[in-house]
């Protein structure tokens, strides 16, 4: 299975596409073998009235080879972009404009996931690049309608989300990240 | 100035007031010198669309002697009560029923404040008791109307809230806790 | 199986045993049904040169009924005692004086575990009491020789420590706490 | 004052200098205006027997213009390098080989500092680049002897380290980061 950190291709539909800060595909390809790239990731959740996580959202995506794989909201931080803005942009990209995510007041992630091209150095791998991802749990209050290449968002109970079956379907080792997310909110058994 | 961890007197308007788990004032008074009591505290904040804290809510309160003092949302965890339920109950008690607080998904506090009867052991003191408080930053989305003994909630910018002037007015060393709250959300200069 | 938050019986070998702050067994018994008691817990670990957790220490203990059960370093915070002093005291009590624990610079726990007498309210239960425990991962650098009622400390790999088999042997739901500890240090798969 | 994220020039004395993963100065210069670069930073501290931070180490450095400025241990994460290895490498580079740092068991930073070329977007700025820095508090147990361009390490009490005077001398807004570090360990007043 071709595992990869999901990344919009071509580069994102942002104002300022001609900004020299944005990279052509070829430039990005070269840099990917020279520098660790900075990513943000989000685990979308639904919470009850006192903040307990009741459901976890996992994206279903088709790879270039037509295989189905599960993943999290994820994407690159652009030059000049704050982490919060990147997080919001990727949440909107992957969950649609009506998800109404509640970004955390604290910029400290629940986990830092290090993706290496070769597996084994960490629980996470990405055959395209060395990426370092700041991962956040993000409650969403609206309606999620995946756009772009995400086919569907599946809402699971914390128990389902932490199962071995789900972990096996998640790309790049993100089953581990999902469990760490659940542990951070006290919902991993 | 008589500094104290604010505590409803008499014991709270909860279902089960006759529950043997609740304590008479005299019993509580005795226990206060025998055991550390568990508290929760909340720093109410307003956030913008990407989660940046823009305002901080500080309570103004009159002491038994008629002096004005500033404090945070604070109160005891009862027997059998979860931390989340205690946090919600005290937020409602101090901010009213229309504050609509967004309790954190994670139960891990940004700081643990240890209040001792004698000053000096920690930044925090409470002449009545040894209290250990789990402190959270809590975004509120509604209208705050302090009830009970809190006279008013004052909304401040992060800069004002971390000033020496505000710290000097806060009871029991909570200026330190307020600054730690701001630091945890990246808003302390 | 009788699960319980381990607690030295009788009250601890501290200076000041006649201190009115300490409680008789009968007093403690009464208070246990009236107030949440404050605990600290520690997951002892061994780390490599760059801080990666390589081994996790789990205590083996015999219950009053002679059953074997696994647990973590755990104990009550006394009146007037700081959390750090309590943590150090219980580490020494359970691991011996030559363990040389490195207490965390930050007082913020990786998790707050809420033990209720009745199971179901949280992952943690303790048939004796409502206890709220601040849990820390603590690297130890010396030799661990359990004292008191702990029979043995077993060092496990992170993989073993997070297994279902170990979780099933741990008292009061502490398998969940152990997994949360591993997740917090990036060592839960 | 020319403020900048300290970075060894030329690229570091690592095994594999001819590795295509390393960048020439010119390449790095170009990338710096195209992508956020990933950094690690460390606040070296000394702790007492129960983990309380007693002293904070701040580096004194001369800028290219001969001005004196204060800073923290800081540097880039290289392609293929783990965050822990980068942290250890920069600690050794800035504090010498006998500092014996105790890297944290958890990879989660106490703060994420975002440095932008233009001031105002965040508390942190770096006129050369957009850098995102994962910041850690790191106890050191040995002798610190700054190498390279750091002239000296100054040990301060937490009170001194959080003073306005020290903050004014720190480059790129790192006085804010230092205060956040102290707050995270409960040592900011």
* A132-188 pLDDT tens trace: 999 999 999 999 998 766 679 999 999 999 999 999 999 999 999 999 999 999 999
Helices H / strands E in chain A, number of each = 5, 8
Strand partners, D138: D44
Q: What residue has token string 């890297």? A: D103
Indicate the range of B45-54, B79-88, B96-105, D147-156 predicted with least confidence: D147-156
Q: Which residues contact A117 (CB under 8 A, 6 or more apart)?
A: A125, A126, A127, A128, A129, A130
Question: Residue D163: which region, alpha, beta or left (left: phi > 0; alpha: psi -120 to 50)?
Answer: beta
3-state secondary structure of D58: strand
Mean confidence (pLDDT) of chain D:
88
Looking at the complex, report in whole angstroms how far the Cα of residue A176 sits from the nearest Cα belonging to chain B: 18
Confidence label for D22 from pLDDT (cuts 50, 70 and 90): low
Q: What residue has token string 């957790």? A: C53
Looking at the complex, report in whole angstroms how far the Cα of residue A86 sits from the nearest Cα belonging to chain C: 24
Selecting from A50, A82, A105 the residue whose C-beta is nearest the C-beta of B88 gives: A50
Selecting from C34, C77, C79 the residue whose C-beta is nearest the C-beta of B79 gives: C34
Show residues of chain A in contact with C122, CB under 8 Å: 186
Selecting from B122, B179, B189 the residue whose C-beta is nearest the C-beta of D188 gives: B179
Strand partners, A139: A45
Share of chain B above pLDDT 70, in %: 87
> With an 8 Å Cβ cutoff, is A125 touching chain C?
no
Q: Identify which of C141, C157, A111, B98 has the alpha carbon closest to the alpha carbon of residue D106.
A: A111
Confidence label for B7 from pLDDT (cuts 50, 70 and 90): very low
The answer to whether residue C1 scores a pLDDT higher than 80 is: no
The predicted structure's pLDDT at residue A147: 75
DSSP letter string, C59-88: EEEE-TTS-EEEE-EEEEPPTT--HHHHHH
How buried is C17 (Cβ within 10 angstroms: 0-12 exposed, 13-18 middle, 19+ buried)?
Answer: exposed
Per-residue pLDDT averaged across D137-149, rounded? Answer: 89
The two tokens of residue D24 are: 């020439």
Angle in degrees, 0-180, between the axes of helices D174-184 and B174-184, rounded to the nearest 10: 120
Q: Report CB contact under 8 Å: B105, A139.
A: yes
User: Per residue in B132-186, pLDDT tens?
Assistant: 999 999 999 999 998 766 679 999 999 999 999 999 999 999 999 999 999 999 9
Angle in degrees, 0-180, between the axes of helices A174-184 and C174-184, rounded to the nearest 10: 120
DSSP designation for A99: -
Per-residue pLDDT averaged across D168-179, rounded? Answer: 96
Confidence label for B22 from pLDDT (cuts 50, 70 and 90): low
> With an 8 Å Cβ cutoff, is C186 touching chain D?
yes
Mean confidence (pLDDT) of chain A:
88
**Residue C86's closest chain D neighbor by CA?**
D50
Whether the Cβ atoms of residue C5 and residue C39 lie closer than 8 Å to each other: yes
Q: Report CB contact under 8 Å: D184, C106.
A: yes
Distance between CA atoms of residues D120 and D118, nearest Å:
7
Distance between CA atoms of residues C155 and D160, nearest Å:
42
B50, B51, B54, B55 alpha-carbon torsion, rounded to 10°: 150
The answer to whether residue C35 scores a pLDDT higher than 70 is: yes
Per-residue pLDDT averaged across B43-69, rounded? Answer: 93
The answer to whether residue D7 scores a pLDDT higher than 50 is: no
> With an 8 Å Cβ cutoff, is B162 touching chain D?
no
CB neighbourhood size of A54 (10 A): 12
The predicted structure's pLDDT at residue D115: 98
A18, A21, A22, A26 alpha-carbon torsion, rounded to 10°: 110
Strand partners, A113: A133
Rg (CA), chain A: 16
The answer to whether residue B64 scores a pLDDT higher than 90 is: no
**Residue A125's closest chain D neighbor by CA?**
D80
The two tokens of residue D97 are: 């080989």
**What own/partner pairs with CB < 8 Å and gap ≥ 24 does B159-162 have?**
B159/B189, B161/B56, B161/B58, B162/B188, B162/B189
Q: Which residues contact A50 (CB under 8 A, 6 or more apart)?
A: B82, B84, B85, B87, B88, B103
Give the 3-state secondary structure of C84-121.
HHHHHHHHHHHHCCCCCECCCCCCCCCEEEEEECCCCC
Confidence label for A22 from pLDDT (cuts 50, 70 and 90): low
* Pairing verdict, β B131-139 and B37-47: parallel
Distance between CA atoms of residues A91 and A6, nearest Å:
13
Q: Identify which of D63, D68, D42, D43 has the alpha carbon closest to the alpha carbon of residue D169.
A: D68
C140, C144, C150, C156 alpha-carbon torsion, rounded to 10°: 70
Q: What residue has token string 């000053």? A: B119
Beta-carbon-side half-sphere exposure of residue C125 (alpha carbons within 13 Å): 10
Indicate the range of B24-38, B56-70, C10-24, D62-76 predicted with least confidence: C10-24
Distance between CA atoms of residues A184 and A178, nearest Å:
10
Q: Report CB contact under 8 Å: D36, A116.
A: no
Q: What residue has token string 């720190």? A: D170
Looking at the complex, report in whole angstroms how far the Cα of residue D121 sits from the nearest Cα belonging to chain C: 28
Phi, psi of D166 (to 5 degrees): -65, -45
Distance between CA atoms of residues C60 and C156, nearest Å:
12
Q: Report CB contact under 8 Å: B180, D186.
A: yes
User: Per residue in D55-79, pLDDT tens?
Assistant: 999 999 888 788 889 999 999 999 9
User: Per residue in C109-132, pLDDT tens?
Assistant: 999 999 999 998 999 999 999 999
The predicted structure's pLDDT at residue C13: 39
Per-residue pLDDT averaged across C60-83, rounded? Answer: 92
The predicted structure's pLDDT at residue D151: 76
The predicted structure's pLDDT at residue A124: 97
Whether the Cβ atoms of residue B59 and residue B72 lie closer than 8 Å to each other: yes
> With an 8 Å Cβ cutoff, is B107 touching chain A?
yes
The answer to whether residue A122 scores a pLDDT higher than 70 is: yes
The predicted structure's pLDDT at residue B2: 39
The predicted structure's pLDDT at residue A9: 42
Strand partners, A115: A124, A131
The two tokens of residue B79 are: 């027997």
Whether the bond between B69 and the residue before it is cis, its omega within 30 degrees of 0, is no
User: Per residue in C132-160, pLDDT tens?
Assistant: 999 999 999 999 998 766 679 999 999 99
Q: Report CB contact under 8 Å: A80, D116.
A: yes
Q: Which residues contact D37 (CB under 8 A, 6 or more apart)?
A: A35, D31, D76, D129, D130, D131, D132
Per-residue pLDDT averaged across C62-66, rounded? Answer: 82
Per-residue pLDDT averaged across B64-79, rounded? Answer: 92
Strand partners, A53: A47
**Residue C124's closest chain B neighbor by CA?**
B82
Q: Identify which of A96, A15, B107, A62 has the alpha carbon closest to the alpha carbon of residue C133.
A: B107
DSSP letter string, A70-98: EE-EEEEPPTT--HHHHHHHHHHHHH-TT
Share of chain D above pLDDT 90, in %: 72
Q: Identify which of B155, B157, B158, B179 has the alpha carbon closest to the alpha carbon of residue B168.
A: B179
3-state secondary structure of B114: strand
Show residues of chain D in contact with A80, CB under 8 Å: 116, 130
Whether the Cβ atoms of residue B185 and residue B137 lie closer than 8 Å to each other: yes
Whether the Cβ atoms of residue C155 and residue C57 lie closer than 8 Å to each other: yes
Q: Report CB contact under 8 Å: D106, C184.
A: yes
Looking at the complex, report in whole angstroms how far the Cα of residue A112 sits from the nearest Cα belonging to chain C: 8
Distance between CA atoms of residues D170 and D165, nearest Å:
9
Confidence label for A81 from pLDDT (cuts 50, 70 and 90): very high
Mutation test of the interface with chain C: which of D51, D88, D139, D181, choosing the one with the most C Cβ atoms within 10 A?
Answer: D51
Helix (H) / strand (E) element for B57: namely strand B53-62
The answer to whether residue D21 scores a pLDDT higher than 90 is: no
The two tokens of residue B92 are: 């409602």
Share of chain B above pLDDT 90, in %: 72
Distance between CA atoms of residues D46 and D99, nearest Å:
11
Percent of chain A as helix, strand, coil, to the nearest 5: 25, 30, 45
Show residues of chain A in contact with B87, CB under 8 Å: 50
CA A119 to chain centre: 19
Looking at the complex, report in whole angstroms how far the Cα of residue C20 sits from the nearest Cα belonging to chain A: 37
The answer to whether residue A30 scores a pLDDT higher than 70 is: yes
Distance between CA atoms of residues A181 and C126, nearest Å:
26
């Amino acid at each position: 299975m071709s595992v990869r950190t999901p990344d919009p291709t071509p580069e994102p539909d942002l104002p300022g596409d001609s900004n020299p800060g944005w990279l052509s595909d070829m430039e990005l390809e070269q840099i990917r073998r020279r520098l660790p790239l900075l990513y943000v990731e989000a685990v979308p959740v639904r919470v009850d009235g006192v903040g307990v996580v009741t459901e976890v959202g996992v994206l279903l995506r088709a790879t270039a080879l037509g295989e189905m794989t599960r993943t999290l909201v994820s994407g690159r931080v652009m030059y000049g972009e704050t982490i919060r803005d990147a997080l919001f942009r990727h949440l909107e990209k992957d969950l649609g404009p009506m998800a109404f995510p509640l970004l955390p007041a604290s910029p400290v992630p629940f986990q830092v996931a290090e993706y290496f091209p070769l597996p084994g150095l960490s629980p996470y791998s990405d055959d395209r690049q060395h990426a370092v991802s700041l991962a956040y749990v993000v409650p969403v209050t609206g309606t999620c309608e995946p756009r772009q290449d995400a086919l569907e968002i599946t809402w699971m109970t914390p128990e389902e989300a932490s199962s071995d079956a789900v972990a096996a379907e998640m790309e790049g080792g993100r089953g581990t990240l999902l469990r760490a997310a659940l542990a951070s909110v006290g919902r991993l058994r």
